[in-house]
């Protein structure tokens, strides 16, 4: 008899980004492992804050896919910086979730993406009311991450979110954490069984082209151009030597600022289609992974994706990810927010230094250490045991 599972997530393709791609890869793998998967998500609207044109005017949508089906529910979308407006948007999807549970037959096991908190909390409450086995996927530690990024302050609102966080942890039957730091944090708040599931991508590692390293040495960033990534500040504060170039791809709140930067060896190329991303990135020497501040529990999925392509990383994000870079010799770990150290790294970067992290060796180490299928097999067993 085929196993069934319901996945509840706020982000899913055709939306772009690590969160959507991660859940899609998981759903596909579960389908391959003989699970009948139903994904419940909002009508696609991220990051524009508007429902995508092909879904515009719809209340809901059902799509048959290889691993099961995707049920897209109504949402009042918004990408507003106003917390109250964003909360209303989350409440609208939570309302749709309530109706879905009342009027739909749902599997016994429910996998819940815990972010944003209000959606995760609603899903956990519904799961308990309908006697489901709850698997909670914790990809970031909210509200702690919001506090560290300066987006939240301690007070009544923060305390309410903390209570919701503890409730979700305690009422789950299995908690999936994206990092060891997340699991350590969760373990202080509940006795729920824990499982480490890193954001490892599932694609065949490409062959590294046989080319010698030559100047200019090129760094590349591809992804969200947001405040948390701090690319605009990096471009402003760091002086690149003439033999080093920084290339950026992506979109986001800092896109306009970055597009107007007038430095001869900094290049902004706009957005790039996901299908072309890997081939484009391979032409560069180093992948750049920055964060404005160290966020406890965060290990950017770019670390696993780019090293699998064979790109050594200049890791300027701190925390557990930096430790992984050092332990597995995947590139350079530069102290987060320390622009003097980053300037020193850039100024001293040379072809000889770059050859310390040969692309083939970096790729080999990444493939051996971070294997999607090995991790998924263990995850599948943990889910079956719930």
Domains parsed from the chain with CATH numbers: 3-200+371-384 (3.40.50.2000), 217-369 (3.40.50.2000)
- Look at residue 12 in the predicted model and tell me its pLDDT: 96
List the chain residues with pLDDT less than 70.
Answer: 1
- Look at residue 2 in the predicted model and tell me its pLDDT: 75
Distance between CA atoms of residues 192 and 173, nearest Å? 6
Q: CA nearest 372: which of 208, 205, 135?
A: 205
Q: CA nearest 289: which of 240, 327, 250?
A: 250
**Unique residue bearing structure tokens 């001869």:** 264
- The C-alpha R_g of the chain, in whole angstroms, comes to 21
Please state the pTM of the whole predicted model.
Answer: 0.90
Q: CA nearest 139: which of 288, 274, 252, 26?
A: 26
pLDDT tens digits, 297-309:
999 999 999 999 9
Question: Length of the chain, please?
Answer: 386
The overall average pLDDT reported for the chain is 94
- Look at residue 200 in the predicted model and tell me its pLDDT: 94
- Look at residue 1 in the predicted model and tell me its pLDDT: 65
Q: CA nearest 164: which of 139, 187, 144?
A: 144
């Amino acid at each position: 008899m085929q196993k069934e599972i319901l996945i509840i997530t706020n982000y899913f393709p055709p939306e772009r980004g690590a969160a959507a791609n991660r859940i899609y890869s998981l759903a596909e793998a579960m389908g391959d492992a003989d699970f009948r998967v139903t994904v419940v998500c909002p009508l696609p609207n991220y990051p524009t804050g508007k429902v995508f044109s092909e879904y515009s005017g719809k209340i809901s949508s059902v799509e048959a896919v290889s691993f099961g089906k995707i049920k897209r529910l109504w949402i009042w979308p918004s990408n507003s910086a106003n917390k109250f407006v964003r909360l209303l948007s989350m409440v609208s999807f939570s309302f749709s979730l309530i109706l879905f549970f009342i009027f739909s037959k749902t599997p016994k096991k429910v996998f819940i993406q815990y972010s944003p908190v209000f959606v995760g909390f609603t899903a956990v409450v519904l799961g308990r009311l309908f006697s489901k086995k709850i698997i909670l996927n914790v990809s970031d530690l909210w509200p702690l991450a919001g506090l560290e990024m300066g987006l939240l302050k301690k007070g009544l609102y923060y305390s309410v979110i903390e209570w919701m966080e503890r409730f979700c942890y305690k009422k789950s039957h299995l908690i999936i954490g994206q990092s060891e730091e997340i699991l350590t944090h969760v373990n202080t708040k509940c006795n729920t069984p824990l499982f480490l599931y890193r954001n490892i991508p599932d694609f065949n590692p490409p062959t590294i082209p046989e080319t010698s390293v030559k100047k200019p040495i090129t760094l590349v960033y591809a992804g969200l151009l947001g405040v948390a990534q701090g690319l605009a500040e990096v471009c402003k504060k760091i002086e690149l030597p003439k033999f080093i170039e920084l290339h950026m791809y992506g979109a986001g709140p800092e896109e306009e600022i970055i597009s107007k930067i007038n430095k001869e060896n900094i290049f902004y190329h706009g957005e790039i289609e996901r299908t072309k991303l890997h081939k484009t990135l391979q032409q560069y020497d180093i992948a750049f992974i920055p964060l404005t501040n160290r966020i406890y529990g965060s290990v950017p999925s770019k670390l696993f994706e780019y090293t699998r392509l064979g790109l050594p990383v200049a890791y300027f994000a701190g925390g557990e990810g930096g430790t992984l870079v050092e332990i597995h010799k995947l590139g350079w770990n530069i102290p987060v927010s320390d622009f003097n150290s980053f300037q020193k790294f850039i100024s001293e970067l040379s072809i000889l230094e770059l050859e310390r992290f040969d692309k083939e060796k970096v790729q080999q180490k990444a493939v051996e250490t971070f294997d999607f299928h090995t991790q998924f097999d263990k995850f599948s067993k943990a889910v079956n045991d719930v």
